[in-house]
């Protein structure tokens, strides 16, 4: 009976120690899974953060697609305006060429015709001055008529 009694006591002590250990584990597990502190709180916080991140990603994606559509429209508008600008530049280039040709023609006229026209004007001016001088001379030799007033 001595050994059996010791075995039973050891078994009872082991069962008590096991029960105490299980109680400790249960207490720690409850604390660990507590929603206000511990892993449970961390899980809740992480879940909320994931949901906010997911919502932010959805919003960012929608804004990205809106921006892409806006950029596509701007690019199409830029292409149309670029074509118009190229046409305007070609027209401006042709106008520059025309202006240079007109300038060359005008330069030729100025170099060629203006000196001749100047000579003619000088001759005409000299002739007119001679006529005025002759008239003044003749006017001085004519008797003065008195006004019949």
Half-sphere exposure of 3 (CA within 13 A, CB side): 0
CA–CA dist 143, 133 (Å, integer) = 18
Is 98 contained in some domain?
A: yes
In a domain, 115, yes or no: yes
SS3 category, 81: helix
Helix (H, G, I), strand (E, B) or coil at 35: coil
In a domain, 114, yes or no: yes
- Contact status, residue 33 vs residue 40, Cβ threshold 8 Å: yes
CA distance 41 to 62: 32
Range of the domain at 46: 33-137
Q: What is the C-alpha separation between 24 and 128, in angstroms, rounded?
A: 136
- Mean pLDDT for all residues in the chain: 87
As a whole number of Å, the end-to-end CA separation of the chain is 184
How many structural domains is the chain composed of? Answer: 1
* pTM for this predicted structure: 0.41
At 143, the pLDDT band (50, 70, 90 cuts) reads low
**What is the predicted pLDDT for the residue at 142?**
62
Q: Is residue 65 part of a domain?
A: yes
Whether 21 is in a domain gets the answer no
**Greater model confidence, 31 or 35:** 31
Within-domain flag for 131 = yes
At 99-110, the pLDDT tens digits run: 999 988 888 878
Pick from 98, 79, 78, 80: which is nearest to 90 by CA?
Answer: 98
- Structure tokens that stand for 48 in this block: 């909320």
104: in domain: yes
Residue 127 lies in a domain: yes
């Amino acid at each position: 009976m001595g050994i059996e009694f010791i075995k039973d006591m050891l078994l009872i002590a082991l069962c008590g120690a096991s029960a105490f250990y299980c109680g400790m584990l249960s207490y720690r597990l409850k604390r660990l899974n507590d929603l206000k502190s511990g892993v449970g709180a961390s899980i809740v916080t992480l879940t909320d953060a994931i949901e906010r991140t997911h919502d932010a990603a959805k919003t960012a994606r929608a804004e990205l697609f809106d921006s892409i559509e806006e950029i596509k429209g701007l690019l199409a508008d830029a292409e149309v305006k670029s074509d118009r600008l190229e046409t305007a530049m070609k027209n401006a280039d042709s106008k520059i060429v025309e202006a240079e040709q007109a300038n060359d023609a005008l330069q030729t006229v100025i170099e060629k015709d203006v000196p001749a026209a100047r000579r003619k004007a000088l001759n005409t001016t000299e002739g007119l001055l001679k006529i005025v001088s002759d008239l003044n001379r003749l006017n001085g030799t004519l008797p003065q008529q008195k006004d019949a007033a």
